[in-house]
Amino acid sequence: MFYWVVRQIFSLIFRFLFRWEIAGREHLPSKGGCILCSNHISWWDPPLIGCLTKRIVHFMSKEEMFQIPVFSKIMPLLHAFPVRRNSADRRAIRRALEILKSGEVLGIFPEGTRSRTDELLVPHSGVALIAIKSEVPVVPIAIIGSFKILRQIKVRIGAPITFPEYYGLKNKAEQLEEVAGKIMQEIDRLRKRG
């Protein structure tokens, strides 16, 4: 209940204050596990991505957020779970795979942190590991804009992509980097389409 109330509030904010324009919503799967992958430019990004679909989106969120008293209570109600950044957090990866195995939606920002410029950052390989291990489609999403009040935010949703050629293999670091790179290339392609 709390999740849906918060989602409705943010939907109104994005519609009226940021005048969001969304293209490609038909690419969002209506059922089954999937990963929503977006570039990361602002703290507004998670609620924005959560408002794109009528399904609950489970987000990986930096562990530090769960150490703030108020957020430590709110984050689980929003179906977020902690991840240790800049490390191979096996607990977070296991949780992500459980979510996907149960047919739910996972939200990930492959860059791992917000970009302070208009440039995309190098993606972490964790997104590739989760995509390969879960064997679910990855939906690339590009957020274009600056989140300034009354300035338009554009959202471009691409067709789901899969990586069957990597399924079942013992994935090496270079393979994970390759898959993560392909995801970011697709996000970049959507950004450039504008």
Parallel, antiparallel, or unpaired: how do β-strands 138-144 and 154-157 relate?
antiparallel
The least confident of 49-58, 154-163, 168-177 is 168-177
The least confident of 59-63, 104-108, 116-120 is 116-120
> Residue 84: what pLDDT?
85
> Residue 26: what pLDDT?
97
Contact indicator for 136, 100 with CB cutoff of 8 Å: yes
Determine the average pLDDT of the residues in 165-181.
86
> Residue 59: what pLDDT?
95
Who has greater pLDDT, 100 or 173?
100
Q: For the chain, how are helix, strand and coil distributed in percent, rounded to 5?
A: 45, 15, 40
Given a cut of 90, whether residue 169 has pLDDT beyond it is no
Q: What is the CATH number of the domain that holds 23?
A: 3.40.1130.10
Given a cut of 90, whether residue 94 has pLDDT beyond it is yes
> Residue 68: what pLDDT?
85
Q: What's the 3-state SS for 71-92?
A: HHHHHHHCCCEEECCCCCCHHH
Residues of the domain holding 51:
2-193
Q: How many helices (H) and strands (E) does the chain have?
A: 6, 7
Who has greater pLDDT, 85 or 12?
12
The least confident of 114-128, 146-160, 178-192 is 114-128
Determine the average pLDDT of the residues in 101-124.
90
Element (H, E) at 70: helix 69-77
Who has greater pLDDT, 168 or 77?
77
> Residue 146: what pLDDT?
86
| pLDDT above 70: percentage of residues in the chain | 98
pLDDT in tens, 32-67: 999 999 999 999 999 999 999 999 999 998 888 888
The pLDDT-based confidence of 8 (bands split at 50, 70, 90) is very high
Given a cut of 80, whether residue 194 has pLDDT beyond it is no
**Overall domain count for the chain:** 1
